[in-house]
Chain A
Amino acid sequence: MTQPIITFDKVNKWYGDDFHVLRDLDLQVAAGERIVICGPSGSGKSTLIRCINRLEEHQQGRIVVDGIELADDVKAIERVRRQVGMVFQQFNLFPHLTVLENLTLAPMYVGKVPPKEAEERAMEQLARVRIAEQAAKYPLQLSGGQQQRVAIARALCLKPRIMLFDEPTSALDPEMIKEVLDVIVELAGQGITMLCVTHEMGFAKAVADRVIFMDQGQIVEENNPHDFFDHPKSERTRDFLSKILGH
């Protein structure tokens, strides 16, 4: 592939002395590629994507994001984070700010965008996730699904090249999962690089270029969705799929 936008090269991470959470991980993500990562809990999938925007630090190996190597250089980390947007399982909206203020915060203070333009950008993103009418409300006045859509819009306001989703629908009531997934599917069709940790396999089939199965800190299997779901190669993959697709 042409220069990958994300490279993991023999990455190792430990929590404490003994918990080897990422083991000799190699991964390359092409620009515009849409990847779904699945696996049992404790497999390191959340840790993997949190390493991409340096919310977690790796101890060995190299991680290169958009041409910048992730190390202790604070300025480099800030540059990386401007290109990487993240959506959390618990939304993490700022409760003391209105929806609009949540979205204009980063562009104004990080991107040095003037307030008027930041507001226009924010309203644009809110319209994109179909929640523009809630702009003046406070996050805790909205439902879970609405909050997550605002969180997606907030991450998009910095115009990142990469979007990370850490189990975006796991904290939602069932009837709100669809509205959030619809937004992500729409986003996926617009050329942005996406890594999504999720258990929603229907979503993976619809949107992913590649599905990665992780277990115990390693990539066990990766393939395009069709081959992944219909012809899993590894025993572990088959085991996992039978558990989550069974019900």
Chain B
Amino acid sequence: MAAVFTPIAPRRAPAGTTGPLAWARANLFANPGSTLATAVIALVAVLAFPTVFRWAVSEAVFAPDANACQAARGVGACWGVIAEKWRLIVFGRYPFEAHWRPELATILLLGLVAASGLRAFWKPWLAILWLLVVPAFFVLMAGGWLGLAPVPTDQWGGLPLTVMIATFSIAFAFPLSIAVALGRRSRMPAIRTLCVLYVELIRGVPLVSLLFMASFLFPLFMPVGKSPDVLLRVMVAMTLFAAAYLAETVRGGLQAIPAGQVEAARSLGLTWWQAQRKIVLPQALALVVPGIVNSFIAMFKDTSLVTIVSLYELTGALNIALNSDANWRPFKIEGYIFIALVYFAFCFAMSRYSLWIEKRVSAGKAR
């Protein structure tokens, strides 16, 4: 075998092996089972699509006209109920003329949350931004200052309430959760026991029971005669709830830091506390960001439960908007679909963001 070597230039793959046709063959018709699945699903889609399209689009009523909606009942969806009632759903019982205030407040808060999630904004002035936006939010919502009419907290509702509860419960829970996570890993048995008790107790009971506690028991815990605001009590309950779950996430991040890091820090003369603060926590927190985002998504969905203790977030606001209006009451389903889409939009976007962050974190770790 002594032939002279002649190099062969690379060629492009032949047409039949790549491109959409090849993809279809591999992904839709690879084997009899796959082909059958494709055929059955295509058949179902073709049969169902006209009915769904008819109900949702072609026979649906988009104008806020109650009579047209009644006429189309059973045949077409009444999206008019959204056109008519969306402001009541999104802003709850907040005074109608002043809706610009919760609107602005929500946009500011959402902007702040979004900014805090982007690595590019993790600079010292972000803390200042928090110190500015948070009071601004409360001033806009509560009023009584700068010429804004005061609005009591039991009139706050809808989307601003959801965003507010989710954001502040996570924000306040975060430092608490770090303390609890560190306490759980402490070598001092009393501290460890207290932290374990707290986490296991909170995680073992449903959020509903904690909200009932906030609603019925917190007033009893206060000195006789004082009864704090419902919203405040619910915020405390949600914060304690979030902190217990977040503490587990942070603990996972702390555990992922090899023991060698603490050993190296101690051998350089740092105390345990300094080692945690300077070496372990910064690394652990970077790992924990996806977990925090997931907790935020979970809290965002869990805020829907405050309906049960008479705070009117989106679901509660929908009930108020429709229950009292006989013309629109039959079209609650369309209202529910609208709210579901709002929740889906927020939560799906946040979960995509969380996945993106996770990829970036693991890319940073890859050798």
Q: Residues on A close to B: CB < 8 A? A: 12, 14, 16-20, 23-24, 59-60, 216-218, 220-223, 233-234, 236
- Name 7 interchain pairs, CB-CB below 8 A, sorted by A: A12-B11, A14-B13, A17-B18, A20-B12, A216-B7, A217-B8, A233-B5
A60 to chain B, nearest CB (A): 7
Residue of A nearest to B10 (CB): A20
User: Once bound together, how far apart are the Cα atoms of A19 and B8, in whole Å?
Assistant: 13
Q: Within 8 Å of chain A (Cβ to Cβ): is B14?
A: yes
Given A18-B13, A23-B8, A234-B5, 14 additional A-B pairs, CB 8 A: A14-B17, A16-B13, A16-B18, A17-B18, A18-B12, A19-B10, A20-B11, A20-B12, A59-B17, A216-B10, A220-B5, A223-B1, A233-B2, A233-B4
The A interface is mostly helix, strand or loop, or mixed, namely strand
Please give the distance in Å from A63's CB to the nearest CB on chain B: 16
Task: Tell me which residues across on chain A come within 8 A of B14, comparing CB atoms.
Answer: 59-60
In the bound complex, residues from chain A placing their C-beta under 8 Å from that of B8 are 23-24, 217-218
For B1-45 the 0/1 string (1 means CB < 8 A from A) is 110110110111110011000000000000000000000000000
Contacts of B1 in A (CB 8 A): 222-223
Residues on B facing A (Cβ under 8 Å): 1-2, 4-5, 7-8, 10-14, 17-18
Give the CA-CA distance A19 to B13 in the complex, in Å: 8
A59→B13 contact, CB < 8 A? yes
On chain A, the residues within 8 Å of B4 by CB distance are 233
The 8 closest A-B pairs by CB, nearest first: A14-B13, A20-B10, A23-B8, A59-B17, A234-B5, A17-B18, A220-B5, A17-B13
Residues of B within 8 A of A236 (CB): 5
A16 CB to closest chain B CB (Å) equals 7
User: Could you tell me the distance between the alpha carbons of A217 and B13 in the complex, rounded to whole angstroms?
Assistant: 14
Residue ID in chain B nearest A221 by CB atoms: B5
Cα of A19 to Cα of B18 in the assembled complex, Å:
12
Q: What residues on A are CB-neighbors of B10 within 8 Å?
A: 18-20, 23, 216-217
Q: Which residues of A contact B13 (CB under 8 A)?
A: 14, 16-18, 20, 59
Kindly list chain B residues whose C-beta atoms are within 8 Å of the C-beta of A222. 1
Quick one: which of A17, A24, A223 contacts B12, CB cutoff 8 A? Answer: A17
Report A195 CB to chain B, min CB distance, Å: 17
User: B23 CB to closest chain A CB, in angstroms?
Assistant: 12
Query: Complex: how many Å from CA A218 to CA B3?
Result: 13
CA distance A20 to B1 in the complex (A): 25
Taking the closest CB of chain A, its distance from the CB of B196, in whole angstroms, is 31
Residues on the B chain within 8 Å of A24, using CB: 8
Which residues of chain B are within 8 angstroms of A17 by Cβ–Cβ distance?
12-13, 18
A15, closest chain B residue (CB): B13
Complex Cα–Cα for A60 and B1 (A): 24
- Bound-state Cα–Cα, A161 to B1, Å: 25
Closest to B2 in A: A233
CB nearest neighbor in A for B1: A222
A132 vs B347: C-alpha distance in the bound complex, in angstroms?
A: 56
CB distance from A59 to the nearest CB of B (A): 5
How far is A14 from B18 in the complex, measured between Cα atoms in Å?
10
The interface residues of chain B lying within 8 Å CB-to-CB of A218 are: 7-8
Minimum CB–CB distance for A44 against chain B, Å: 11
| Shortest beta-carbon distance from B6 to chain A in Å | 9
A residues in contact with B12, CB < 8 Å = 14, 17-18, 20
- Centre residue among B10, B12, B18 by max chain A CB count within 10 A: B10
